[in-house]
Amino acid sequence: MYRVCFVCTGNICRSPMAEAVFRSHVRDAGLDHLVLTHSAGTGSWHLGDPADHRTSAVLEAAGYDLTHEARRFEPAWFEDDDLIVALDEGHARELRALARRREESAKVRLLRSYDPEAVAAQGSGRGDLSVPDPYYGGVSGFEECLELVEAAMPGLLSEVAAAVETREAG
């Protein structure tokens, strides 16, 4: 199995949303028997909690399924996970600091680095690659989060599908 872990702060908003959306794309591509998707947070504030009710509502309205219990990222996961997708720059820094080897640190990528429009905007100084934390706002922040997550999925799925194909061929 090719393992992808999405990571945000508390594992109740952004990372479970990305997990649910990616799992749907993986299933639609017929790769669900080859790709395992999960999520975690950098902190332990919400351990064992379900996803934020606004995350669940926005996902349900968009047709995505999510069953979730918040977890904290464990450094040992670097060995098992093939790709660790951070939802913002701070998460990426924290994850790279946890890595013991360069190979582990190289597994950390920003979700929006898979969105060509976000990369172009960042390159021209019009934005960054972080998905803003919607936690302290209203539902519209969660809807924006979903839009940003969905925009990155084609690029992420393409990279993961190519990696799975290479692994299967080897």
In whole angstroms, what is the distance from residue 3 CA to residue 5 CA? 7
Point out the catalytic residue in the list 32, 49, 82, 133.
133
In whole angstroms, what is the distance from residue 58 CA to residue 71 CA? 21
14 is catalytic: yes
Point out the catalytic residue in the list 14, 23, 54, 109.
14
49 is catalytic: no
Point out the catalytic residue in the list 8, 54, 81, 109.
8
27 is catalytic: no
Place of tokens 């706002």: 137
In whole angstroms, what is the distance from residue 145 CA to residue 140 CA? 8
In whole angstroms, what is the distance from residue 48 CA to residue 26 CA? 25
Three-state SS letters, 129-152: CCCCCCCCCCHHHHHHHHHHHHHH
Q: Could you give the residue numbers annotated as active site?
A: 8, 14, 133
